[in-house]
């Protein structure tokens, strides 16, 4: 299970993707609706689409965080994992890169020594 699933933040990524797709669609459609809607309304639709895209990025940048150390995971992914890999890293990461939140706890009990050859 990924960190975002464990911390119930996957819906934020889905909402970000929906805002991104809706904003892109509105920005593209304003060109097709230019004659039907008129110049001013078509421009407002286009600006509204751009506002959805920018607002979605800003919101996700601020709100997708580690619950323990409050590291902004969205911005960390974007800054440290490259332009083409940040989104995949964000969806697949198992633990927080700063504090380790989400890692499976290791046993603190001493391990048994296996039978076999003794090393000098």
Q: Where along the chain do its domains lie? A: 3-92
Give the tens place of pLDDT for each residue, 50-106: 999 999 999 999 999 988 899 999 899 989 988 889 889 999 989 888 888 777 665
Number of other CB atoms surrounding residue 114 within 10 Å: 6
Angle between helices 73-80 and 39-63 (to 10 degrees): 100
- DSSP assignment letter at 31: H
Nearest to 26 by CA among 4, 43, 45: 45
Give the tens place of pLDDT for each residue, 6-49: 889 999 999 999 999 999 999 998 888 777 878 888 889 899 99
Interacting residues of 35 by C-beta distance below 8 A, sequence separation 6+: none
pTM for this predicted structure: 0.75
């Amino acid at each position: 299970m990924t960190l975002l699933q464990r911390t119930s933040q996957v819906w934020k990524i889905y909402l970000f993707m929906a805002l991104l797709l809706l904003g892109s669609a509105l920005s593209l459609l304003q060109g097709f609706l230019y004659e039907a809607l008129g110049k001013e309304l078509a421009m407002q639709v286009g600006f509204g689409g751009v506002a959805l895209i920018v607002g979605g990025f800003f919101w996700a940048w601020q709100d997708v965080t580690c619950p323990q150390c409050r590291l902004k995971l969205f911005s960390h992914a974007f800054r440290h994992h490259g332009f083409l890999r940040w989104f995949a890293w964000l969806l697949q990461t198992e633990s927080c890169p700063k504090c380790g939140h989400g890692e499976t706890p290791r046993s603190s009990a001493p391990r048994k020594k296996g039978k076999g050859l003794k090393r000098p």
